[in-house]
Amino acid sequence: MAEQSKNSVSEWASFPLEREIVIARVVDADRETVFRAWTDPSQIVQWFGPHGFRIESLEADIRVGGMWRFDMIAPDGTRYSNRMEFLRIEPPKFLEANHGADVDNDSGSFRLLVTFDEQDNGKTVVTLRQMHPTVERRANVIKFGAAEYGAQTLDKLANHVADKSSVADAKIR
């Protein structure tokens, strides 16, 4: 995985809060394990997406300049095309991507920053920050359920890494 450090995560501090969605979760696994679950194509398809959804990966090149193209398939069979274009990756601290539909120049795409903060107790705080292009777009995705779906996705991540780590207690504290 390449690392690009021209820009710093601190630049996110200047983004308008009214365009942002932030979801955080403490995961009972070390930072490297959690980061690997996000960046290993064979793992991310096992847990990504809300409860009941499954992922069909079309292309997975998870590195700076690469992209992950995938369909998120709802329980009713509805397919949602997705694309993440990776802008910055600094293992095991963060990754940044543009996330939207699997089309060029998607006007509804948003910037995604995922940070992995290690705690002294061997747990990891995973924070998803979505920066939407407009206040209206943010409001629409919240109405659609983006915050709840994001929380469910982090639930699935927590369960996945707990299983991978053979942790007996998969509950998040």
pTM above 0.75, yes or no: yes
Total domains in the chain come to 1
Predicted confidence (pLDDT) per residue in 94-140, tens digit? 999 999 999 999 999 999 999 999 999 999 999 999 999 999 999 99
Residue 84 covered by a domain: no
Q: What is the pLDDT of residue 150?
A: 96
Residue 77 covered by a domain: no
Q: What is the pLDDT of residue 78?
A: 97
Residues of the domain holding 157: 15-50+89-164
Q: What is the DSSP string of 102-141?
A: SSTT-TT-EEEEEEEEE-TTS-EEEEEEEE-SSHHHHHHH
Residue 115 covered by a domain: yes
Name the DSSP letter for residue 37.
Answer: H
* CATH number of the domain where residue 138 is located: 3.30.530.20
Residue 105 covered by a domain: yes
Residue 62 covered by a domain: no
Residue 106 covered by a domain: yes
CA pair distance 118, 68, nearest whole angstrom = 26
Residue 120 covered by a domain: yes
